[in-house]
């Protein structure tokens, strides 16, 4: 039997965040709304290629999670646009970290159709710094300090 070691998934913010934004189409829908000025259902469908039913479900759950809010832009018939909440706005860091990485490591097609520019005029590329000390953060500079958890420590007995 293998049973003694089934699974004990970590509780962490990455996991929590992914429950909100990690499902298929969620980040592409957010890309449209957050970075490309598309706020209507049909436009998001068109620009992402997501199936309408899935997109409807995603928008609904993103709204429920407090990332999006619907704004009435026309009564009779009632029509809504999808806009970001503060939590949604703050996803730009995630979106651009992903874009930046994709740009550097998966860019397979020579010219990228969508590009982004910082207000300073330069093509946007991110530099991540520690908010506390202001130094640039590199992969090796981060350590995980985990509060005790049986599975992390080599325990004297199972």
Partner DNA sequence: AATTGTGGGTTCGTAAATCAAACCCACTCG
Partner DNA sequence: CGAGTGGGTTTGATTTACGAACCCACAATT
Query: What residues between 14 and 43 interact with DNA by CB under 7 A?
Result: 23-25, 40-43
Q: Which stretch binds a second copy (CB under 8 A): 7-15, 56-64, 73-81?
A: 7-15
Nearer to a second copy, 73 or 151 (CB): 151
Residues facing 23 on adjacent strands: none
Q: Which of a second copy, DNA, none does residue 135 bind (CB under 5 to 8 Å by kind)? A: a second copy
Return the axis-axis angle of helices 52-64 and 41-48, rounded to nearest 10°.
120
Q: How far is the CB of 107 from DNA (least distance, A)?
A: 22
Residues facing 80 on adjacent strands: 72
Rule CB under 8 A: choose which of 46, 60, 64, 71 binds a second copy: 46
Residues facing 20 on adjacent strands: none
Q: Which stretch binds DNA (CB under 7 A): 28-36, 52-60, 105-113, 137-145?
A: 52-60
How far is Cα 46 from Cα 52, in angstroms, rounded to an integer? 10
The residue count for the chain: 158
Nearer to a second copy, 32 or 75 (CB): 32
3-state secondary structure of 72: strand
Nearest to 18 by CA among 9, 34, 141, 38: 9
Rule CB under 8 A: choose which of 53, 78, 108, 154 binds a second copy: 108
CA 118 to chain centre: 20
Angle at 90 between CA 113 and CA 84, to 5 degrees: 80
- Of 68-107, binders to DNA (CB under 7 A) are 76-77, 79-81
What does the binding site for DNA look like in residue numbers (CB under 7 A)? 1-2, 6, 23-25, 40-43, 49-54, 56-57, 59, 76-77, 79-81
């Amino acid at each position: 039997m293998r049973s003694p070691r089934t699974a004990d998934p970590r509780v962490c913010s990455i996991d929590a965040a992914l429950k909100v934004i990690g499902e298929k189409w969620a980040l592409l829908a957010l890309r449209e709304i957050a970075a490309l000025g598309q706020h209507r259902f049909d436009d998001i469908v068109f620009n992402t290629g997501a199936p309408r039913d899935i997109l409807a479900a995603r928008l609904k759950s993103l709204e429920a999670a407090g990332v999006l809010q619907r704004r009435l832009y026309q009564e009779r018939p009632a029509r809504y646009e999808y806009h970001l909440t503060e939590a949604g706005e703050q996803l730009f860091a995630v979106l651009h970290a992903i874009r930046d990485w994709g740009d550097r490591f998966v860019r397979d097609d020579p010219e990228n159709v969508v590009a982004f520019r910082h207000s300073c005029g330069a093509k946007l590329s991110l530099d991540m710094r520690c908010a506390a000390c202001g130094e640039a953060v590199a992969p090796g500079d981060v350590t995980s300090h985990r509060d005790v958890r049986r599975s992390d420590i080599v325990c004297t007995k199972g």
